[in-house]
């Protein structure tokens, strides 16, 4: 494999490009005349706003869970509200049985300590693979496991009541492909992961970005319902490149 | 750049109107996209929708006014996240950047998710010329790639094709039995492309937004091909126009509310993916390299013209196409270049030159529907008028839309309208001719009910009636009615 050269300058050098933009704008001064309020917020201000969000979420949690369930169902999720761990596992077992899957992949997230699905699914005679790299499980081997799987199970980083979306931040233990490649995806959502709005989400992500010194991970994904297309005669077809069937199990 | 056929606009639009298959396809756009858009907006109150539009517009206006600043900030943050940002002045430079990356990394197979900018650049042939297999993976784009055609809509590139067209295409190109079941055809595309996703070395995507504060590329999709293109291959290249930058991640919220509702009538799309740099060392998967290519390709011309700058606010939702009475009758291909519809009639002349695309700003009744549906309140009719003005007043003869004859007619018309006596005389002459027409055998310029002139015999009227009808002169003019009524009141 070719080693990528770092910091190549391809195309036009930045200074030259920016100069032509500036010329088109008919402006000589570099910075914005009025600073953009959002970008000048301090970390303390963001933390303050985040604390307010957290308080609001706590106060409204039952209503938010209802809203999440309602919006997720409108967005195409099959929503199941589980009153306890056993009920959640029971639901996952029934989805597994009905799907006819033989192989299942899941991410390595701490929700699975709370909801131990592996034993239950293995008892059904299914092969369950945790997608977490180590010496035995290379990227390539895990990718092949994901390709063979009939179901992918993940937790949530957030769930958005406004849109009924699951939000995941792929990283170590949370593959980008587990929720994407198998034809069925099951997502486990805990009440503490629920946010009210897009504004809440982006504020919290910004705060984390600044708290971590300008780092917030490589990927963030919103998932709202199954994969869809309407590219032939505007007829909606589900499951074109991603999962056809998606289940959101809300613990609470 | 793709072949420019904007000069054939009149012939192409006339042909499109006579194509019954296209008419059926375009009817689906109105009943599909626009009805969905209206019901999605009805869910929020008109006040809230208006507030979102204003917010979206304000963010765009601010960013474009300070584009140099935000591009610089973006550069810093893409680099800090371990990615590389490349700037390109024009299409060939942008294509060369991508080709260089493909060559030096030994890329054999590339998968692409939908990108209108890559259509504008005509990137695929450049990659194919250096031996890279390029696969369009959005179902609509895949269909038109197989058919060797261009997109006819910003959001639904293959909407001009019927299911029978697609079934025939799949039979011919993939060697499978004819099957016009839409679900089966989508499944076929899934199977064919699934292998390609896993095999690809390079994933190419467009971008709906890029966030300066964090160096993040945002794509909004429904099929999942965008996620696969940006997750499975070892290299990801995002390509987009330089105007797609927004300041902060928090600015995204309003655009995620505006764009899906305006484009497809969804509250949110199936997927929104936000990519910041390549995969980190301990990530389970994701590309090892992340490149972002930002192109100018004529956009600085728009930026430099205060009257047309706001065209850069466009978020490519396609709502103005879906509502436009002209687009709904002629479809996207008649516009002759990548960007169709009302916004295309502004953007194309600016990107490829008004000289070649001078007919496009004329392709509008200026009804204003596009302005009303635009999620960022772009005043498209104002810009169409501005382009018409520029084209009519151009010192370059070949670029000028108004011919000497047209100017003379306009002058005569002005004379007529400013003199009541002349106007009365002209109306009398016209009525006489309208009556006299009945005595000419075998030829009638009028419609059967006598209310419309369909084929005027002499220029300049004959030119007008070539593509429209003209109302006949009434038995009594408004003036005459007024005077009669007035005299009755007096008596």
CATH number at residue A194: 3.40.50.10420
In the stretch 116-135 of chain A, residues with CB closer than 8 A to chain B read 131-133
Cα–Cα distance between B265 and B273 in angstroms, integer?
19
Cα–Cα distance between A240 and A230 in angstroms, integer?
10
Cα–Cα distance between A91 and A80 in angstroms, integer?
8
Whether chain A has a CB inside 8 Å of the CB on B317: the answer is no
pLDDT at A9: 74
Cα–Cα distance between A150 and A183 in angstroms, integer?
6
Cα–Cα distance between B34 and B39 in angstroms, integer?
9
| Domains, chain B, ordered by start | 6-297 (3.40.50.10420), 301-399 (1.10.1060), 404-490 (no CATH)
Q: How far is A6 from chain B (nearest CA, A)?
A: 9
Report CB contact under 8 Å: B25, A216.
no
Which residues of chain B make contact with A35, given a CB cutoff of 8 A?
none
Long-range contacts of range B401-406, CB-CB < 8 Å, 24 or more positions apart?
A: B401/B358, B401/B362, B405/B459, B405/B460, B406/B460
What's the token pair of residue B408? 């003379």
Cα–Cα distance between B341 and B332 in angstroms, integer?
7
Which residues of chain B make contact with A73, given a CB cutoff of 8 A?
none
Pairing of strands B202-205, B235-241: parallel
Pairing of strands A219-223, A165-168: antiparallel
- Cβ atoms B311, B350 nearer than 8 A: yes
Among B106, B163, B247, the residue with its CB nearest the CB of A2 is B106
Which residues of chain B make contact with A24, given a CB cutoff of 8 A?
300-301, 303-304
Asked if the structure places residue A98 within a domain, the reply is yes
Pairing of strands B470-471, B452-453: antiparallel
Of A34, A26, A154, A168, nearest to B309 by C-alpha is A26
Asked if the structure places residue A5 within a domain, the reply is no
Asked if the structure places residue A147 within a domain, the reply is yes
Residue B368, phi then psi, degrees to nearest 5: 90, 0
Whether chain A has a CB inside 8 Å of the CB on B283: the answer is yes
**Structural domains of chain A, count:** 1
pLDDT at A85 > cutoff 70:
yes
In the stretch 34-73 of chain A, residues with CB closer than 8 A to chain B read 36, 38-39, 71
Cα–Cα distance between B185 and B192 in angstroms, integer?
11
Report CB contact under 8 Å: B222, A214.
no
Residues contacting B448, CB < 8 A, separation 6+? none
In the stretch 174-213 of chain B, residues with CB closer than 8 A to chain A read 182-183, 185-186, 189-190, 193-194, 197-198, 213
pLDDT at A4: 47
Whether chain B has a CB inside 8 Å of the CB on A15: the answer is no
Asked if the structure places residue A232 within a domain, the reply is yes
In Å, how far are A91, A190, A247, B328 from A187, measured between CA atoms?
12, 10, 6, 41
Whether chain A has a CB inside 8 Å of the CB on B392: the answer is no
Cα four-point dihedral sign B250, B252, B255, B261: negative
- Cβ atoms B214, B274 nearer than 8 A: no
In Å, how far are B222, B405, B415, B449, B468 from B463, measured between CA atoms?
46, 12, 21, 22, 9
Q: How far is B36 from chain A (nearest CA, A)?
A: 12
Mutate to test the interface with A, among B113, B285, B291 (most CBs of A within 10 A): B285
A222 strand-pairing partners: A167, B272
Q: How far is A136 from chain B (nearest CA, A)?
A: 14
Residues contacting A67, CB < 8 A, separation 6+? A161, A162, A196
pLDDT at B465: 80
Asked if the structure places residue A176 within a domain, the reply is yes
Asked if the structure places residue A17 within a domain, the reply is no
Whether chain A has a CB inside 8 Å of the CB on B30: the answer is no
What's the token pair of residue A129? 């693979």
- What's the ipTM? 0.95
The boundaries of the domain holding residue A171 are: 41-251
Q: Give residue B292's region: left, alpha or beta (phi > 0; psi -120 to 50).
A: beta
Residues contacting B449, CB < 8 A, separation 6+? none
DSSP character for B312?
G
Cα–Cα distance between A207 and A52 in angstroms, integer?
13
pLDDT at B127: 98
Percent of chain A scored above 70 by pLDDT? 95
Of B386, B246, B213, B227, nearest to B315 by C-alpha is B246
In the stretch 155-184 of chain A, residues with CB closer than 8 A to chain B read 163-165, 170-177, 180-181
Please state whether the peptide bond connecting residue B460 to the residue before it is cis, i.e. omega within 30 degrees of 0: yes
- Cβ atoms B374, B320 nearer than 8 A: yes
Tokens 């919006």, located at residue? A71
Percent of chain A scored above 90 by pLDDT? 89
pLDDT at A33 > cutoff 70:
no
Cα–Cα distance between A164 and B268 in angstroms, integer?
9
Cα–Cα distance between B439 and B384 in angstroms, integer?
44
Q: What is the rounded radius of gyration, in angstroms, for the C-alpha atoms of chain A? A: 22
pLDDT at B491: 52
Whether chain B has a CB inside 8 Å of the CB on A4: the answer is yes
- DSSP string for residues in B297-310: TTHHHHHH-TTTGG
Cα–Cα distance between A249 and A91 in angstroms, integer?
8
SS3 A251: strand
A237 strand-pairing partners: A229
pLDDT at B415: 92
What is the number of other CB atoms lying within 10 angstroms of the CB of residue B379? 16
Residues contacting B242, CB < 8 A, separation 6+? A21, B67, B71, B87, B294, B295, B296, B299
Mutate to test the interface with A, among B43, B75, B163, B186 (most CBs of A within 10 A): B186
The b-or-e profile of B270-297 (16+ CB within 10 A means b, else e) is bbbbbbbbbbbeebbbbbebbbbbbbbb
Please give the sequence-ordered ranges of beta strands (E in DSSP) within B32-191, or none if there are none. 84-88, 109-112, 133-136
pLDDT confidence tier of residue A77, bands split at 50, 70 and 90: very high
Cα–Cα distance between A14 and B225 in angstroms, integer?
31
Which residues of chain A make contact with B137, given a CB cutoff of 8 A?
241
Upper half-sphere CA count for residue B311 (Cβ side, 13 Å): 31
Instruction: Give me the helix-helix angle, B252-263 and B35-42, nearest 10°.
Output: 140
What's the token pair of residue A106? 């899941």
Asked if the structure places residue A9 within a domain, the reply is no
Upper half-sphere CA count for residue A29 (Cβ side, 13 Å): 6
Q: Give residue B81's region: left, alpha or beta (phi > 0; psi -120 to 50).
A: alpha
Longest dimension (CA), chain A: 71
Length of chain A: 252
DSSP character for A178?
T
pLDDT at B441: 67
pLDDT at A30: 65
Residue B71, phi then psi, degrees to nearest 5: -65, -35
User: B351-389, pLDDT tens digit by residue?
Assistant: 999 999 999 999 999 999 999 999 999 999 999 999 999
Pairing of strands A237-238, A228-229: antiparallel
Per-residue pLDDT 10s for chain B (491 aa) are: 778 899 899 899 999 999 999 999 998 887 789 999 999 999 999 999 999 999 999 999 999 999 999 999 999 999 999 999 999 999 999 999 999 999 999 999 999 999 999 999 999 999 999 999 999 999 999 999 999 999 999 999 999 999 999 999 999 999 999 999 999 999 999 999 999 999 999 999 999 999 999 999 999 999 999 999 999 999 999 999 999 999 999 999 999 999 999 999 999 999 999 999 999 999 999 999 999 999 999 999 999 999 999 999 999 999 999 999 999 999 999 999 999 999 999 999 999 999 999 999 999 999 999 999 999 999 999 999 999 999 988 888 777 777 777 788 888 889 999 998 999 898 888 888 888 777 776 667 778 777 888 887 777 777 778 778 888 888 888 888 888 887 776 55
pLDDT at A32 > cutoff 70:
no
Among A71, A165, A234, the residue with its CB nearest the CB of B28 is A234
Among A5, A165, A242, the residue with its CB nearest the CB of B223 is A242
pLDDT at A3: 43
Pairing of strands B109-112, B202-205: parallel
Q: Which residue on chain A is closest to B187 by alpha carbon? A: A240
pLDDT confidence tier of residue A63, bands split at 50, 70 and 90: very high
Report CB contact under 8 Å: B268, A20.
no
């Amino acid at each position: 494999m070719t080693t990528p050269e770092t910091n190549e300058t391809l195309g036009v050098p930045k200074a030259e490009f920016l100069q032509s933009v500036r010329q088109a704008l008919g402006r000589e001064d570099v910075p914005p005349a009025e600073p953009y309020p959002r970008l000048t917020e301090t970390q303390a201000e963001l933390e303050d706003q985040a604390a307010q969000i957290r308080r609001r979420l706590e106060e409204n949690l039952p209503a938010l869970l209802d809203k999440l369930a309602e919006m997720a169902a409108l967005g195409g999720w099959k929503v199941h509200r589980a009153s306890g761990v056993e009920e959640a596992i029971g639901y996952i077992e029934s989805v597994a049985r009905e799907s006819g899957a033989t192989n299942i992949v899941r991410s390595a997230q701490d929700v699975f300590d709370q909801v131990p699905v592996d034993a239950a699914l293995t008892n059904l005679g299914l092969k369950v693979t945790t997608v977490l790299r180590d010496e035995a499980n290379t990227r390539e081997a895990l990718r092949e496991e994901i390709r063979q799987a009939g179901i992918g199970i993940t937790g949530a980083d957030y769930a958005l009541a406004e849109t009924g979306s699951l939000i995941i931040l792929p990283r170590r233990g949370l593959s980008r492909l587990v929720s994407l490649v198998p034809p069925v995806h099951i997502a486990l959502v805990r009440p503490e992961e629920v946010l009210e709005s897009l504004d809440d989400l982006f504020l919290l992500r910004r705060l984390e970005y600044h708290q971590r010194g300008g780092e917030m991970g490589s990927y963030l994904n919103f998932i709202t319902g199954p994969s869809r297309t309407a590219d032939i005669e505007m007829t909606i077809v589900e499951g074109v490149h991603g999962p056809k069937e998606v289940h959101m199990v809300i613990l609470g | 750049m793709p072949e420019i056929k904007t000069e054939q606009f009149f012939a192409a639009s006339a042909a499109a109107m006579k194509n019954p298959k296209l008419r059926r396809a375009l009817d689906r756009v109105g009943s599909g996209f626009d009805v969905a858009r209206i019901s999605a907006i009805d869910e929020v109150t008109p006040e809230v929708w208006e507030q979102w539009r204003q917010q979206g517009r304000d963010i765009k206006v601010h960013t474009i006014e300070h584009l140099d600043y935000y591009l610089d900030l973006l550069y810093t943050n893409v680099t800090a996240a371990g990615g590389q940002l490349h700037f390109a002045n024009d299409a060939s430079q942008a294509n060369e950047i991508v080709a260089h990356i493909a060559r030096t990394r030994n890329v054999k197979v590339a998968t692409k998710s939908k990108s209108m900018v890559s259509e504008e650049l005509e990137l695929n042939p450049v990659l194919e010329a250096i031996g890279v297999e390029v696969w369009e993976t959005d179902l609509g784009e895949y269909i038109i790639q197989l058919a060797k055609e261009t997109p006819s809509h910003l959001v639904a590139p293959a909407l001009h094709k019927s299911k029978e067209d697609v079934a025939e295409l799949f039979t011919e190109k993939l060697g499978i039995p004819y099957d016009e079941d839409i679900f089966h055809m989508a499944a076929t595309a899934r199977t064919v492309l699934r292998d390609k996703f896993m095999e690809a070395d390079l994933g190419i995507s467009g971008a709906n937004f890029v966030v300066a504060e964090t160096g993040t590329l945002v794509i909004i999709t429904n099929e999942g091909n965008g996620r696969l293109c940006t997750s499975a291959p070892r290299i990801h290249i995002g390509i987009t126009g330089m105007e797609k930058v927004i300041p902060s991640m928090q600015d995204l919220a309003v655009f995620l509310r505006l764009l899906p509702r305006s484009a497809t009538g969804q509250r949110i799309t199936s997927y929104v993916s936000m990519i910041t740099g390549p995969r980190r060392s301990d990530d389970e998967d994701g590309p090892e390299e992340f490149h972002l290519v930002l192109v100018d390709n004529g956009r600085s011309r728009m930026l430099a013209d205060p009257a047309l700058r706001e065209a850069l606010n466009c978020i490519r939702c396609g709502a103005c196409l879906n509502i436009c009475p002209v687009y709904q009758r002629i479809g996207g291909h008649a516009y002759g270049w990548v960007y169709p519809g009302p916004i295309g009639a502004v953007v194309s002349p600016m990107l490829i030159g008004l000289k070649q695309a001078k007919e496009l700003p004329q392709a509008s009744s200026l009804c204003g529907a596009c302005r009303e549906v635009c999620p960022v309140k772009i005043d498209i009719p104002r810009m169409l008028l501005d382009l018409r003005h520029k084209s009519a007043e151009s010192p370059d003869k070949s670029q000028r839309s108004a011919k000497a004859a047209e100017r003379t007619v306009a002058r005569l018309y002005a004379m007529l309208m400013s003199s009541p006596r002349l106007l009365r005389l002209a109306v009398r002459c016209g009525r006489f001719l309208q009556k006299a027409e009945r005595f000419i055998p075998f030829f009638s310029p009028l419609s059967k009910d006598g209310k419309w002139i369909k084929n005027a015999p002499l220029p300049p009227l004959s030119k007008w009636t070539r593509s429209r009808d003209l109302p006949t002169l009434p038995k009594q003019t408004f003036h005459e009615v007024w005077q009669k009524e007035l005299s009755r009141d007096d008596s």
